[in-house]
């Protein structure tokens, strides 16, 4: 089976930079037409201009019903299908201990990180994939599978997204495959607080010796949405250089490394 995507169309939410933009570039490289969203039309256009292939930038707040449906409609008008949806937009306005959170931050983070993926999946399925089939990938996080200081609220959204991924598999079967990816720390704006001040120290602890680059995640997504993954659904693919296994330093020392 091939990882070729020629003739297919993909919507990637939150694709103005970081992991989403890399996914857009990677899927276009595989031959897909790509639709990239941002809250801002100029940023969406700028992202589309960086794609080597057929690309459209669309302004859409990921948690707004009208914006999601408009983007789906524009995609069908321009390209005639929606074969792939990557629910990638994410945010973290709730960095800190859980008991210091408030309802405003709770509502915003769950709106973007959880309602967004459900809303866009629903629009794509009702407008196209329900009849024609398709592949959905949700960008979760290794935080959704573990605990980390100050990340409790964000991680709760990603844990819920992993659950939602599995529920959708059953509800949308057999035509639509739904999988999740769980990146570790990747070099993007969103995660700056996790790596910028201490990249070297963090990299040393990582089993594969470095933090992630957006393209590491994009390559995994390109596989999951392709025919090479045509019998894979409901899975949570960890793309983290081994980070979730813990600090490798002491283990290496045991081997004189």
Ligand X SMILES: NC(=O)c1ccc[n+]([C@@H]2O[C@H](COP(=O)([O-])OP(=O)(O)OC[C@H]3O[C@@H](n4cnc5c(N)ncnc54)[C@H](OP(=O)(O)O)[C@@H]3O)[C@@H](O)[C@H]2O)c1
- Integer Cα distance of 35 and 71 in angstroms: 8
Q: Which of residues 178-217 bind ligand X (CB under 6 A)?
A: 183, 185-186, 188-191
- Count Cα neighbours of 252 within 13 Å in the Cβ-side half-sphere: 11
Contact in structure between 140 and 150 (CB atoms under 8 Å): no
Of 9-17, 99-107, 202-210, 248-256: span binding ligand X (CB under 6 A): 9-17
Q: Of 143, 125, 49, 115, whose CA–CA distance to 82 is shortest? A: 125
Determine, following the binding rule CB under 6 A, whether residue 20 of this chain makes contact with ligand X: yes
Closest separation in Å from C-beta 142 to ligand X: 7
Indicate which single residue of 75, 88, 165, 243 sits in contact with ligand X (rule: CB under 6 A). 88
Determine, following the binding rule CB under 6 A, whether residue 233 of this chain makes contact with ligand X: no
Of 79, 120, 154, 223, catalytic: 154
Indicate which single residue of 89, 125, 136, 137 sits in contact with ligand X (rule: CB under 6 A). 89
Helix 18-29 to helix 214-224 angle (10° resolution) is 50
Of 27-35, 82-90, 119-127, 164-172: span binding ligand X (CB under 6 A): 82-90
Indicate which single residue of 5, 15, 28, 162 sits in contact with ligand X (rule: CB under 6 A). 15
Determine, following the binding rule CB under 6 A, whether residue 112 of this chain makes contact with ligand X: yes
Of 59-67, 69-77, 171-179, 249-257: span binding ligand X (CB under 6 A): 59-67
Sequence-distant (6+) residues with CB within 8 A of 182 are 140, 141, 142, 144, 145, 158, 162, 236, 237, 238, 239, 240, 244
Q: Is 154 a catalytic residue?
A: yes
As given in the structure block, the two tokens for residue 240 are: 């983290």
Q: Where are the alpha helices (DSSP H) in 115-246?
A: 116-124, 130-132, 152-172, 192-195, 199-205, 214-224
- Check residue 150 and report its DSSP letter: T
Closest separation in Å from C-beta 151 to ligand X: 10
Q: Which of helix, strand or coil describes residue 28?
A: helix
Closest separation in Å from C-beta 257 to ligand X: 26
Indicate which single residue of 32, 61, 169, 229 sits in contact with ligand X (rule: CB under 6 A). 61
What amino acid positions are annotated as catalytic residues?
154
List contacts with ligand X (CB under 6 A).
13-20, 37-40, 43, 61-63, 88-91, 112, 139, 141, 183, 185-186, 188-191
């Amino acid at each position: 089976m091939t990882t070729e995507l020629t003739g297919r169309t993909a919507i990637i939410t939150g694709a103005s930079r970081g992991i989403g933009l890399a996914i857009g570039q990677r899927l276009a490289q595989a031959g897909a037409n790509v639709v990239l969203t941002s809250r801002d039309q100029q940023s969406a256009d700028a992202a589309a201009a960086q794609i080597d292939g057929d690309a459209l930038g669309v302004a859409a707040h990921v948690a707004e019903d009208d914006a999601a449906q408009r983007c789906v409609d524009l995609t069908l008008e321009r390209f005639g299908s929606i074969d792939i949806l990557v629910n990638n937009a994410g945010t973290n306005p709730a960095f800190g201990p859980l008991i210091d959170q408030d309802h405003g931050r709770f509502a915003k983070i769950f709106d973007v990180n959880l309602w967004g993926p459900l809303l866009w999946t629903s629009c794509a399925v009702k407008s196209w994939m329900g009849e024609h089939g398709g592949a959905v990938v949700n960008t979760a996080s290794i935080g959704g599978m573990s605990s980390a200081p100050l990340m409790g609220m964000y991680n709760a959204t990603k844990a819920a997204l992993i659950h939602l991924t599995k529920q959708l598999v059953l509800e949308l079967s057999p035509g639509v495959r739904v999988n999740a990816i769980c990146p570790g720390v990747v070099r993007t704006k969103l995660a700056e607080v996790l790596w910028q001040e201490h990249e070297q120290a963090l990299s040393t602890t990582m089993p594969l010796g470095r933090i992630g680059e957006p393209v590491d995640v994009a390559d995994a997504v390109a596989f999951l949405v392709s025919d090479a993954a045509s019998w894979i659904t409901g899975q949570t693919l960890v793309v983290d250089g081994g980070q979730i296994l813990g600090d490798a330093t002491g283990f290496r020392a045991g081997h004189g490394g």
